[in-house]
Structure 1
């Protein structure tokens, strides 16, 4: 069984998979600042859920090392007992949450299990920042593909993974977001990236994520090229998407399977 709930209108989620209860990339207050506010500062247009409205959870998954995913102020408030994420944030997590258990991933440690659920780390082929990885979360009956920046997947690794449960849910951005090469290039590949992932994983349901039209200031926002995806009605007319597309533009807990 899979249930999901938005915690903000960007990329923060509550996920139930079988008996495991998971928070993904919680960012519930304040701004995202990359390096300096004059370089990149973004903040929510739609207020996130309040802290006392967050469902009870077992573990927090941080998908990327960047502050819109790894939001330190939110983590300090939440004080989770278990955190999973890339090895690159281990020391920073331990500074914020010295008592928390940290479960890490890297290109040599690509699989971890929590309460009978297996987390497969899907590293990108990119080797220079910004590096956007993804995850496949498998309870033995069904799985979730979580690709929070679209994805330049290393398909060689997927073949090496061997068998995994059918993908019920794909969560990935629909908007196209690109910066000049010197600022990192493609941040999200848009619908073409969704199509590639859908062809690879054949999901039952596709939910857009990380597409919030945030307030933004700084150099990054001046150079960003953003192409928003189509309307809901037009997305449902796309042959490879029409039967699987499910927008969630609310904060209600939704049963997926």
Structure 2
């Protein structure tokens, strides 16, 4: 945790969300400032942030089907190795927002307001980690994950995430406050709903459009995002979480779509922030590990590759003169990329800085 950064930035931007990368893979904490109109009137100071855990897998291994088929471990220890450590992080941020710049402990108090689970696979829906969360915290999950979690009989309230359609307010289901919604973008042709996204939409002010964070750990095809620019009332894309690594199996089964699809998604959205997720090259055993293939790209490498391909096609067609091509190149690179390492935090400012 970079306390100096948080102290300085929270002080200058006290009403902006904060996102924390809890490990090197795809576990996140999103802290959304509670609008003053929604804060309870009480002599007891209210919390300043609504805290949402995304796909927490902080320690231990994960296995789908059976260990002989696939088992993985984090290659790098998580910056936050337990739910208790994430609770301490929440407590510290609350203290900083209240003017106390010291690192503090949660001391058993629960700071989580919701958990959001993107998929039923155990690197996203990790029972060992999730059962460290207080059972009173509501869990929002897609259908298969919701069914799996209910079967554990740990959490009191497991809510199935609705589709994000034109009106984001339809994703604000109980027990969420009315200013916040959790939805899902997906393509019906994707039978496993593997290349899908969670949307976390929030209206911090009645005088400004709602903002949305789009979380897609395996990536998605840009047309799946169409409901975002067509939303009514409008929403502003604040942050896109989409990885850079192209991960597939030898028989061409595509897992993580990678940088080129991320570029297409960001060009469509124009989110103020774009951060990589699910790009950890984990330690693995089992049958699946024999066939797993990974191509690692940086944003610059992906852009350069696309430009070279397009330039070759353009020159072959003879359709564009050099001056027009040079102008096009200047617009090729989307803005907003931020490299978020294990344990790093970012205040999501209105100016995108």
Q: TM-score, normalised by structure 1?
A: 0.87
**Cα shift readout 1:202-231 (whole Å, capped 9, x = no counterpart):** 11111000000110112212112210112x
Instruction: Report if the CA contact (8 A) 1:76-1:96 is conserved.
Output: no
1:132 counterpart (175, 195, 220): 195
Instruction: Report if the CA contact (8 A) 2:248-2:293 is conserved.
Output: yes
2:265 counterpart (180, 197, 201): 197
Gaps of 5+ in 2: 1-15, 35-49, 91-110, 204-209, 308-330
Q: Secondary structure at the match of 1:78?
A: coil
Bigger share in strand: 1
Within a 5 Å distance, the mapping from 1:123-162 to structure 2 comes to 123-129=186-192, 131-140=194-203, 141-152=210-221, 153-155=223-225, 157-158=227-228, 161-162=231-232
Q: Does 1:28 align with 2:58?
A: yes
Gaps of 5+ in 1: none
Structure 1 residues 97 and 28 mapped into 2: Cα distance closer, same or farther (>3 Å)? farther
| Higher-Rg member (1/2) | 2
Instruction: Report if the CA contact (8 A) 2:164-2:227 is conserved.
Output: no
Shift of 1:112: 2.4
Within a 5 Å distance, the mapping from 1:219-234 to structure 2 comes to 219-230=287-298
Instruction: Report if the CA contact (8 A) 1:235-1:241 is conserved.
Output: no
Distance in 2, matches of 1:244 and 1:236, equals 14
Q: TM-score, normalised by structure 2?
A: 0.65
Q: Does 1:58 align with 2:113?
A: yes
Structure 1 residues 159 and 253 mapped into 2: Cα distance closer, same or farther (>3 Å)? closer
CA RMSD of aligned residues (A): 2.7
Structure-2 residue corresponding to 1:206: 274
2:148 counterpart (77, 92, 99): 92
